[in-house]
Structure 1
């Protein structure tokens, strides 16, 4: 009978420790999610007309109604458009 009570106490203690560890894990995970900066705070995403890469609107270059990820791609696209007109 004493062995059964000791096993029950050990099981209850392990269960309690497990619950506490799980609670600490969830609390730490939530705190980490709140501290981590969101990558989506940059605004709308736009697609580069030349390479189809998505970049935040505030980092993209705009030429009339076209969006570009860098000035080199903008220049290439405009050069190609100019060559097609000739």
Structure 2
């Protein structure tokens, strides 16, 4: 007899548990579900050294370029550009022979106009953008097509013009 009473109590408890569970599930489904906020797309950039694509916020920005790590920013790329230099491409260069590896850097001393140290004239000269009206000396040199691989300006900033 005790078995039957315990069985009836167990079945009653199971029935009560399922009813309460069903009621809770219905209440949960009746609540308006709040959608998670939409994910914002991250701007992707490419490492100037290895072309790896990564989120802009994870990249190292340098002079309008991006790098995936400090080692790549501080290295010479396969294309011949040094990451730590400001890049100001000059059209005045020839193709380098494929068998020859560069092993020397020549540093020149130049001021334009001679003896004056105004900003920008040297880069303009190396990029064929020199204004001949800015100084009488510029009229003599404006037709020359010259450049340097690197330029160290008066503030110590390194500018690369040719790779």
User: Normalised by the shorter chain, which TM-score bucket?
Assistant: 0.3 to 0.5
Higher fraction of helix: 1
TM-score by length of 1: 0.44
TM-score by length of 2: 0.25
Larger Cα-atom Rg: 2
